[in-house]
Structure 1
Amino acid sequence: MPETGSLYRAPEPASRPAPVPYDPELESGLAFFLDLVERIPLRAHTILENRAHFETVIPPIEAQADGRAVEWEHRTIPGPAGAPDVEVTIVRPSDSSRRLTETRPGVLGIHGGGYVLGTRFFGTGELIDLAERYGTVGVAVEYRLAPEHPAPAAAEDCYAALAWMARHAAELGVDPDRIVVSGASAGGGLTAAVALMARDRGGPALAGQLVGCPMIDDRNATVSAWQYDGIGAWDRNNNDTGWDAALGADRGGERVHPYQAPARATDLSGLPPAFIEVGSAEVFRDESVDYASRIWAAGGEAELHVWSGGYHGFTGFSPDAAVSRAANDARDSWWRRILAR
């Protein structure tokens, strides 16, 4: 495993801020999540071990799609200039006869994993749900991971998948005016990066971006980052590991580009409508609030939800809690509105 070479660490506050308490209904789901992530603490020397561990946790696409009203296929598409091809999985509603006669909304799904873990199948569950509920055509992208491939390699792979999706919209049965990028955690960070790339490069045009509990600020210095130092489902130590791997010696310095860490963007104008969601009891709370605030300051459209007592990824591990149901309802409302435009 290559060493990242980063020496950056955020200045420690004079006194540690007290963490926001978790919603009591979420605590059993959090305990299950912590059992998964604490078996092998994520540090530079355990990245490969963590990859192997988490790949056993997520079921293959065959199991995810079993009994669901979807069909799927794998494709290999061109990667960024000078880079390897990219593997994608396409998820469609199974009513293929209808698919031939009308176009559907498209969703580029980007998985999480701290920029160092995961496969595209971490995110295909969302694409299956969206295909069944809203008739979308989803594309899950297998982007390159750090530290073997430092940022912005992952973002460039995701942008290449978006560009391919737009070019092949007719073949895929996708309405090119209704393409949304969606991801959570590192996937949320890559979603934000792809939206910036699409704006700066003149397209493809996006109908929206779903930026879930996003990993967007390499400096890891917010109040919420320090509140969850050694605490929670994704704490500031894990965050340090991911950012060190993604940025190496550049981390925390002036050379970090917004395509590597979107919180570094000074101009957030001209972006597609954003849905930003985060728990109040997690590392990414403050950078999410700041990102939404700066989109508004630039005259843009952002819908921000900070869910009381929510830990990182709480809706997936505590789906029956009242706050999880409220969060899912809010997200579903946004999907209905954005896909109807």
Structure 2
Amino acid sequence: MPLHPALNPELESLLADFPLIPEVTPAVLPAMRQASALPPGQLLANQPLTRTDHTTPAPDGHLVPLTVLTPTVASGACVVWLHGGGMILGDRFSQIDIPLEWLAELGVVVVTVEYRLAPEFGGSTPVRDAYAGLCWVAEHAAELGVDPERIVVAGISAGGGLAAGVTLLARDLGGPAIAAQVLICPMLDHRNDTVSSRQYAGVPSVWTPETNRFAWGAVLGAAPDDVPAYVSPALADDLAGLPATYVDAGSAEVFRDEDVAYASRIWAAGGEAELHVWAGGFHGFDAMFPATALGAAARTTRTRWLAGVLAR
């Protein structure tokens, strides 16, 4: 077994009693989806917000569901939220507690997008759905009480990768304007060939190289050719012209090296990026255990950065 960074002791203790993702196969995927779904009413209960639901057409005519969460006192900023789950799991309410912290603390409107999942809908479908959600927000900014110059795209894991892809699309298509992108342990590279991928091969974890390979296979098919950078953002030739970017990851996770490389390439292109690699953090540690010392530090640091960008 290869050497790899140790887990943070507090996280390791909690993870020992947590059911880890089993080997993912097409046969078990439906049950995994059902188990990961949570009623939105439970997630949004007792929150100081108003909820409205909408749809917007994707390029193929599919109506993409959107939920708008508006705080009692809004600041004029908006976060377009893209959930995690490897593009094979989850829905628009997954990990919603993360942007709800920004809603409560920073007064941002949160718009969460129900992009379609692989393998039923692979290729560029998830990122195109997400981009349609961004366009809807920009088009309806006035009625949402949102400043179109203060729209942020954010996501975790697969959602972080989709946020990166949406930001590349917006740059290349001339809009909508994005003030910042927040990429939380993002899934950026379909090649699965970094040092951190190899370090965690065969190691039980929240998200393994084997699971990652299955998820990318679901998105791209068995023999992907000519993969667009909007789908696998690590392939982008040019990372110039991107908005202010926040990237974080754990040192003990598969995505560590692709995330560090992405931030480094933004710097190389003359852009602004803030990178945090949390020592001993596994994939999504602060989403699973936000009350731990490391989880709280990650969330607080991320929120502080976002507050600073929105205050410019």
Give secondary structure in 2 for the equivalent of 1:249. coil
Q: Among residues 41, 66, 72, which one is paired with 1:94 in the alignment?
A: 72
Letter in 2 for 1:203: G
Please state how far the C-alpha of 1:28 moved relative to its aligned partner: 3.0
Is the contact made by 1:110 and 1:123 (CA closer than 8 Å) also made in structure 2?
A: no
Deviation per CA, 1:39-91: give whole Å up to 9, x if none. Answer: xx322332222111211xx3x22112211211112112222x22301101110
Q: 1:204 to 1:316 in 2, by over 3 A?
A: same
Q: Among residues 50, 58, 62, which one is paired with 2:32 in the alignment?
A: 50
Cα distance in 1 for partners of 2:65, 2:257 equals: 34
Cα distance in 2 for partners of 1:312, 1:243 equals: 17
Please state how far the C-alpha of 1:146 moved relative to its aligned partner: 0.6
Corresponding residue for residue 108 of structure 2: 136
Corresponding residue for residue 128 of structure 2: 156
Q: Among residues 51, 57, 82, which one is paired with 1:78 in the alignment?
A: 57
Please state how far the C-alpha of 1:36 moved relative to its aligned partner: 5.0
Q: Among residues 185, 196, 202, which one is paired with 2:157 in the alignment?
A: 185
Matches within 5 A, 1:225-236: 225-231=197-203, 232-236=205-209
Deviation per CA, 1:230-256: give whole Å up to 9, x if none. Answer: 2211000110110000001343x4x11
Matches within 5 A, 1:177-216: 177-216=149-188
Please state how far the C-alpha of 1:327 moved relative to its aligned partner: 1.3
Cα distance in 1 for partners of 2:113, 2:10 equals: 33
Is the contact made by 1:166 and 1:204 (CA closer than 8 Å) also made in structure 2?
A: yes
Cα distance in 2 for partners of 1:32, 1:269 equals: 44
Give secondary structure in 2 for the equivalent of 1:121. coil
Please state how far the C-alpha of 1:17 moved relative to its aligned partner: 3.1
Deviation per CA, 1:20-49: give whole Å up to 9, x if none. Answer: 11010111332344x0523xx322332222
TM-score, length-scaled by structure 2: 0.96
Letter in 2 for 1:300: G
- Higher alpha-carbon deviation: 119-128 or 309-318: 119-128
Give secondary structure in 2 for the equivalent of 1:176. coil
Identity of aligned residues (%): 47
Letter in 2 for 1:65: L
Corresponding residue for residue 63 of structure 1: 42
Matches within 5 A, 1:162-311: 162-231=134-203, 232-251=205-224, 253=225, 255-311=226-282
Is the contact made by 1:107 and 1:138 (CA closer than 8 Å) also made in structure 2?
A: yes
Cα distance in 1 for partners of 2:104, 2:287 equals: 18
Is the contact made by 1:250 and 1:256 (CA closer than 8 Å) also made in structure 2?
A: no
Letter in 1 for 2:213: D
Name the Cα RMSD after superposition. Answer: 1.5
Q: Which runs of 4+ in 1 moved over 4 A?
A: none
Cα distance in 1 for partners of 2:165, 2:88 equals: 16
Is the contact made by 2:64 and 2:113 (CA closer than 8 Å) also made in structure 1?
A: yes
Is the contact made by 1:91 and 1:127 (CA closer than 8 Å) also made in structure 2?
A: no
Structure number with greater Rg is: 1
- Higher alpha-carbon deviation: 202-211 or 313-322: 313-322
Cα distance in 2 for partners of 1:183, 1:29 equals: 24
Cα distance in 2 for partners of 1:162, 1:136 equals: 15
Give secondary structure in 1 for the equivalent of 2:259. helix
Is the contact made by 1:77 and 1:85 (CA closer than 8 Å) also made in structure 2?
A: yes
Gaps of 5+ in 2: none
Aligned residues: 311
